Amino acid sequence: MPNFASSANAGLPRFCDKDPSLTVAEESRLLRFAAIVRQELSAGDSDIALISRSGLDLSRFGIRYSHAALAWRATSGTWSARQLYYACDEGKPRIFDQGVAGFTMGTDNPALGYISALRLPLAAADALRPALMDRPRVLNLVAEQYSANAYAYSLQYQNCNQWVAEMLAVAWSGLPDGPDLRARAQDWLRENRYAPEPVPVGSRLLMWLPTFVPLLHVDDHPREDRDALQLRVSLPASLETLMRQRVPGSDRVEICHNERQIVVRHGWEPIAEGCQAGPGDRVVLLD
């Protein structure tokens, strides 16, 4: 008898697998990549940025970036990415501050990776920082249950990007701490027309996969979305749209690497697939 669960899992992200080991060459390349990401974050006066990486391979859905965090600079000049992650050994979501090198290495593909960073104007960063550094509010925004494809307007589950969206809502609205903080943050997001683009699933088979794949769920999504084979999930692209609308002066930089080069591009036009440089891009050759 065929193992349907194993077949369904083939080629899908496994959220709790051990991180793949890197070769010396791969680690060296990623460390050089991280150094340039750190350099770009530090280029301005702002000490807060929305940072996203191409972690899980979601290219089948036309999605480049899967995971976002809020990067902040300490008085020492060190940058960290504050993010929600799923602690597999504990079986629960946690908040984690991670260095830039660790953040850039969290990828499915060490041969090709992308980072997007939106650096906030100084005044906007100063307004966001108090909430981001407020431990009680940061922790009260963490849901009890994690779902990688959580519906953006449900309190049942939460994914890493949804935590960022709710953190931004708390910071921008000045919401005080309290047991219903997530609900109030989502109310603010609705009022300010935060609308994640529907992700077309394309197949009813994929709608059944949560039965077999841990940390995927569809029971929190509206029936009309499930019937239409699309899921409204917070992703980095939606967060960038929200940030661009709320803070028009945000400066975007995209940095990528393949096995030959690192490319840096300023602006909103995405770098071509495969990390191919275009006119005006900065290129760093990798030996």
CB 39 within 8 A of CB 264: no
Q: Which long-range contacts (CB under 8 A, 24 or more apart) does 153-157 make?
A: 153/186, 153/189, 153/190, 153/232, 154/220, 154/221, 155/182, 155/183, 155/186, 156/219, 156/220, 157/217, 157/220
**206 closest CA partner among 216, 220, 192:** 216
pLDDT band at 207 (very low <50, low <70, confident <90, very high): low
Q: Say what percent of the chain tops pLDDT 70.
A: 89
Distance CA 67, CA 163 (A): 11
pLDDT band at 88 (very low <50, low <70, confident <90, very high): confident
Give the model confidence (pLDDT) of 144-164 as tens digits: 999 999 999 999 999 999 999
Give the model confidence (pLDDT) of 90-141 as tens digits: 889 999 999 999 999 988 899 999 999 999 999 999 999 999 999 999 999 9
Q: Which residues pair with 200 in a beta bridge?
A: 230
**Given a cut of 90, is residue 246 above it in pLDDT?**
yes
Q: Which residue has the higher pLDDT, 103 or 208?
A: 103
For the ranges 96-110, 212-226, 230-244, 248-262, the lowest mean pLDDT is seen at 212-226
Tokens at residue 70, please?
A: 């809020």
Q: Which residues pair with 93 in a beta bridge?
A: 86
**Given a cut of 60, is residue 228 above it in pLDDT?**
yes
Distance CA 270, CA 115 (A): 11
Q: What is the mean pLDDT of residues 179-198?
A: 96
Give the model confidence (pLDDT) of 48-61 as tens digits: 999 999 988 888 88
Which strand (E) or helix (H) includes residue 4? helix 4-9
